[in-house]
Amino acid sequence: MSEVLDGYEQWLKGAWLTLQLTVYGSGVALVLALVFGLAGTSRHAWIRVLNRVYVEFFRGTATLVLLFWFFYALPLVGIRLNSTMFAAVLALGLNIGAYGAEVVRGSIKAVPRAQYEATIALNFTPLQRMRRVLLPQGFALMLPPFGNLLIELMKGTAIVSLVGLTDLTTVSKNLQSSTGETVASFSLVLVIYFVIAQILQLFVRFAEARVDRMLGRRPSREPELGTLAAGAPGAGVAS
Amino acid sequence: MPPTDTTPEKDAAPLRGSAPGIRFEKVIKRFGSNTVLRELDFTVAPGERVTLIGPSGSGKTTILRLLMTLEKPDGGLIFVGDDPLWHMDRGGKRVPANQKHLHEMRKRIGMVFQQFNLFPNMNVLRNLTEGPMRVLGVPRDEAVERAKGLLDLVGLADKIDAHPSQLSGGQQQRVAIARALAMEPQVLLLDEVTSALDPELVVGVQDLLRDIARQSDLTLLCVTHEMTFAKDISDRVLMFDQGQIVEEGPPERMFGEPSEQRTRDFLQAVLAT
C-alpha cells in the first residue's frame, strides 16, 4: 500500500487532469444542453428538428467510440484536433450535453402552463418569457438531474486513459503494473473518484439551496417532489 | 350602460381613464369536436362592468381567455375599442394578427387568474415591477413607486419583499390584482378570482375589487359564482349556457326576477350550495 501512496505526485497530477476534463467537459455540455434544450421548446418545427438530431445522434453514440473517432478517424479525413485533451472534452461535452438538452427541454416544459399564461397576460415578449420566468423556474427543476450528469461526466473521463492521457485511471493502472499492488491501486482510485463525486455533489446542493432562496422556499435537507412544482397554487404557503 | 360614478377617491391609486369597449361578432371557439362558443355576439360598453354567469362549460372563461389572447378563436371577430383583437388590416384587407399587433392590443387588457399565477422566482416587488419596466419601459424608480402605491391599495405594503410562497392565498390574489393594475390596463378580466380561496379570505378580496371598481373607470369582465359579489360589482349580468347568452339584464332583475327558466334553475342551484 505504501508504494502506491508514495506515488502521490502522480495521483495529484491524475486527479488534476480528471478535474480539468470534468470542468471543461461540463462547460461544453452545459452550453450545448441550454442551446439545444431551448431549441427543443421552440414553436418553430425546424428549430425543434435541430434539437432532435443533436440529441438522438449524440445520446445514441458511445462516448468512447466518439473519442476514438475524433482521435483516430478525424485526422484521416483531414481534420486534426489541436490536442487529445480537446478531443476528449468535445466527446464528453457532446455526449453529456445531449442528455442535458433533454433535461433542459423537459424542465422548461414542466414549468406550470399557468406561469406561461401569466407572462402573456403581462404582455412579455417570447424572449422575456423565457429569460425572466420559464428559465429561472425551469432551472430549479434542472439542478438535481444536472447533478447526476455532472457526476456521470466525471466518471466518464476515465475513457481518456485509452487515448494516452494521464488521468486518475491511467495513474492507477501505471502504479498497479509498476508495484504489483493491484488491490491497493484500484481501491485507492475508487475512493478518489468517490471523493470527487461528493465534492461535486456539494456544489450542486449549494446551488439548490440558492435556488430555494430565490423561490422563497426554506431549503430542505432532501429535495421533495412536492416542492418541485414551482408556481403550483399554494405550494409552500406559509401556515 | 357605463357607470356614472367614476370619480376617484382621494387616496386612490392612479388608475387609467377612458376605457375601450368590447365587441364579439359571431365568435366561434371549438376544442376538438366540442363547440364551446357558437357564433356569439355581445357588446360591452366603455367602462361597463359585466359579469358572466352560467354552468361550468358554458364558455364564460373561454371568453376571457380569448380576450387575453390565451386562446385563438375559430371564427368571428373580437373588437377591443375600435380595433380587431385577432385580426389586423393590411393592404385594405383584414388578415390574421401578427405578434406585433397582439403585443399592442394586449397593452389594453389585464387579467387576474383563479390560481393567482404569481411568479415564484420573484418577490412581491419584482412581480409588480417586472412588467411595467420590461414591457412598458417605465423607469425603475417610477415602477417601484407605482408598485408601492398599489400594494398600499391592496393592503400589503408590508409584504413588498416577501415571496409568493410566503403569502396566504388571499394575499397572493391581492398581489395578483395589484400586478394586473400595475400594467395600467383599460380592460380588466377577472376569472373566478375568489374560487381558490378559503371562505374567510373571499370577502377581503371581493371588497378590494369593489373598491377598485368604484374608484376606476376600467371596463370590467368578471366570471364568478359569487352571486352577491356579481350583484354588487356589475352594471349588467349575462347568463350563458352552451356557448350562447340565454338572458341578460341589470343584476337586480337577473337575480330578482329572471325571465328564463334556465337562469332560474341555475341561480337556484348556485344559491343552494
Residue A238 pLDDT greater than 60, yes or no: no
Q: Across the interface, do A121 and B167 touch by the CB < 8 Å criterion?
A: no
Residue A52 lies in a domain: yes
CB B89 within 8 A of CB B52: no
Lowest mean pLDDT among A7-16, A191-200, B117-126: A7-16
Reported as a pLDDT band with limits 50, 70 and 90, residue B273 is low
Residue A233 lies in a domain: no
Rounded mean pLDDT, B233-252: 93
Nearest chain A residue to B113, by CA: A118
Q: Across the interface, do A122 and B183 touch by the CB < 8 Å criterion?
A: yes
CB A159 within 8 A of CB A90: no
Q: Which residue has the cell 423565457?
A: A130
Residue B1 pLDDT greater than 90, yes or no: no
Q: Across the interface, do A236 and B165 touch by the CB < 8 Å criterion?
A: yes
Q: Across the interface, do B119 and A115 touch by the CB < 8 Å criterion?
A: yes
Q: Which three cell numbers stand for residue B41?
A: 355576439
Residue A230 lies in a domain: no
CB B45 within 8 A of CB B2: yes
Q: Rounded to a whole number, what is the distance in Å from the CA of B176 to chain A's nearest CA?
A: 10
* pLDDT for the residue numbered A231: 40
Residues on chain B bordering chain A, Cβ-to-Cβ distance under 8 angstroms: 68-70, 103, 106-107, 109-111, 113, 115-121, 123, 130-131, 134-135, 162-169, 179-180, 183, 196
Mean pLDDT (chain B) is 89
- Beta-carbon contacts of B131 under 8 Å, excluding residues fewer than 6 positions away, are A122, A123, A124, B179, B182, B183
Rounded mean pLDDT, B92-119: 94
Q: Across the interface, do B110 and A121 touch by the CB < 8 Å criterion?
A: yes
Q: In the 8-state DSSP scheme, what is residue B18? A: S
Q: Across the interface, do A133 and B115 touch by the CB < 8 Å criterion?
A: no
* pLDDT for the residue numbered A220: 52
3 state DSSP class of A84: helix
Residue A202 lies in a domain: yes
Our count of domains for chain A comes to 1
Nearest chain A residue to B163, by CA: A216
Sign of the CA dihedral running B153, B158, B159, B160: positive
Element (H, E) at B146: helix B140-153
Residue A234 lies in a domain: no
Rounded mean pLDDT, B53-71: 94
Q: Across the interface, do A236 and B110 touch by the CB < 8 Å criterion?
A: no
Nearest to A216 among B115, B120, B131 (CB): B120
Lowest mean pLDDT among A175-189, A225-239, B95-109, B141-155: A225-239
Reported as a pLDDT band with limits 50, 70 and 90, residue B219 is very high
Rounded mean pLDDT, A172-178: 92
Parent domain of A65: 2-225
Q: Is B141 exposed, middle or buried (0-12, 13-18, 19+ CB in 10 A)?
A: exposed
Residue A148 pLDDT greater than 80, yes or no: yes
Residue B12 pLDDT greater than 50, yes or no: no
Nearest to B135 among A115, A123, A237 (CB): A123
Alpha-carbon span B268 to B273, nearest angstrom: 9
Residue A237 lies in a domain: no
Q: Rounded to a whole number, what is the distance in Å from the CA of B160 to chain A's nearest CA?
A: 13
From the list B27, B75, B46, the residue with the least C-alpha distance to B221 is B46
**What does chain B come to in residues?**
273
Alpha-carbon span A135 to A131, nearest angstrom: 6
pTM above 0.90, yes or no: no
Q: What is the pLDDT of residues A75-115, one digit of tens each?
A: 898 888 878 899 999 999 999 999 999 999 999 999 999 99
Q: Cα-flanking dihedrals φ and ψ of residue B111, to 5°?
A: -140, 140
Q: Rounded to a whole number, what is the distance in Å from the CA of A44 to chain B's nearest CA?
A: 14
Reported as a pLDDT band with limits 50, 70 and 90, residue B19 is confident
Nearest chain B residue to A138, by CA: B121
Lowest mean pLDDT among A46-55, A191-200, B173-182, B208-217: B208-217
Q: How far is CA B225 from the centre of its chain?
A: 14
Q: Across the interface, do B123 and A216 touch by the CB < 8 Å criterion?
A: yes
| Interface residue of B68, B119, B194 to substitute, partner A, most A CBs within 10 Å | B119
Reported as a pLDDT band with limits 50, 70 and 90, residue A1 is low
- Beta-carbon contacts of A144 under 8 Å, excluding residues fewer than 6 positions away, are A204, A208, A223
At A53, which CATH number?
Answer: 1.10.3720.10
* pLDDT for the residue numbered B182: 95
Residue A120 lies in a domain: yes
**A122 vs B contacts (CB less than 8 Å):** 130-131, 135, 179, 183
**B163 vs A contacts (CB less than 8 Å):** 215-217
Q: From the CB of residue A30, how many other CB atoms can be counted at a distance below 10 Å?
A: 18
Q: Which three cell numbers stand for residue B106?
A: 394586449
Reported ipTM: the value is 0.88
Alpha-carbon span A96 to A25, nearest angstrom: 8
Q: Rounded to a whole number, what is the distance in Å from the CA of A239 to chain B's nearest CA?
A: 8
| Strands in B167-253 per DSSP E | 187-191, 219-223, 236-241, 244-249
Q: Rounded to a whole number, what is the distance in Å from the CA of A31 to chain B's nearest CA?
A: 23
Alpha-carbon span A92 to B262, nearest angstrom: 67
Nearest chain B residue to A229, by CA: B120
Q: Which three cell numbers stand for residue B132?
A: 411595467
Nearest to A214 among B107, B111, B121 (CB): B121
Nearest to B131 among A122, A214, A233 (CB): A122
Q: Cα-flanking dihedrals φ and ψ of residue A63, to 5°?
A: -60, -40
CB B96 within 8 A of CB B87: yes
Nearest chain A residue to B111, by CA: A121
Residue A177 lies in a domain: yes
Mean pLDDT (chain A) is 88
Q: What is the pLDDT of residues A26-74, one digit of tens each?
A: 999 999 999 999 999 998 999 999 999 999 999 999 999 999 999 899 9
From the list B115, B245, B261, B108, the residue with the least C-alpha distance to B191 is B115
CA distances (Å), origin A90, targets A25, A27, A97, A152, B14: 7, 10, 10, 15, 57
Residue B157 pLDDT greater than 90, yes or no: yes
Residue A214 pLDDT greater than 90, yes or no: no
